[in-house]
Amino acid sequence: MSHHTILRVVAKFLIPPIILYALYVQWHGDYGPGGGFQAGVIFAVAFILYALVFGLDALVRVFPTAVIRILFSLGVLIYAGTGFVAMFFGKNFLDYSYLGHDPVHAQEWGILLVEFGVGLTVATVMIAIFIAFASRIPSISDEEW
């Protein structure tokens, strides 16, 4: 697909807003619809678009698989860790009240943190699954569609 210049240009213009939108959805989840999961999917879409236009190899150069693997594991660990640390404060698992001085703020912080974990995991997982699918040898060639 290297000859589709228009696609490349459009993609270059499209990807930054998509990522921006993803970040908005991620941090705005408390106030409106959205949250870590939706944001993660949108974020992943940006990278998938990148791979579709510039090729899988380009994506993997930007975003090596080893890094992806660490990130999606890290996302789960952030979530579980947020809950786990509470135990050291004598709280139950996932009790966020240790995160702030008053319980309401602690809850807000806790929710932000775990949503970040979710977003991180979802985004990297989607990219990883896409790479896994895309790196197989296709049986239908481009012309046959």
Which class for 25: exposed (0-12), middle (13-18), buried (19 or more C-beta within 10 A)? buried
Residue 7: CB minimum distance to other proteins, A: 16
Instruction: Give the number of residues in contact with other proteins, rule: CB under 8 A.
Output: 71
Please state, in angstroms and rounded to a whole number, the distance separating the CA atoms of residues 63 and 49.
14
Alpha-carbon torsion, ordered 99, 101, 104, 105, to 10 deg: -60
Tally of helices (H runs) and strands (E runs) in the chain: 5, 0
Examine residue 75 and tell whether it contacts other proteins (CB under 8 A). Answer: yes
Q: Please select the residue that binds other proteins; options are 23, 31, 54, 89, rule is CB under 8 A.
A: 31
Residue 116: CB minimum distance to other proteins, A: 10
Say if residues 93 and 13 touch (Cβ distance below 8 Å).
Answer: no
Q: Output 6 or 104, the one with its CB closest to other proteins.
A: 104
Say if residues 108 and 29 touch (Cβ distance below 8 Å).
Answer: no
What mask, x for binding other proteins by CB under 8 A, covers residues 33 to 62? xxx-xx--xx-xx--x-------xx--x--
Residue 54: CB minimum distance to other proteins, A: 13
Within 93-112, the residues that bind other proteins by CB under 8 A are 93-97, 103-105, 107-108, 110-111
Q: Please select the residue that binds other proteins; options are 3, 13, 141, 143, rule is CB under 8 A.
A: 141
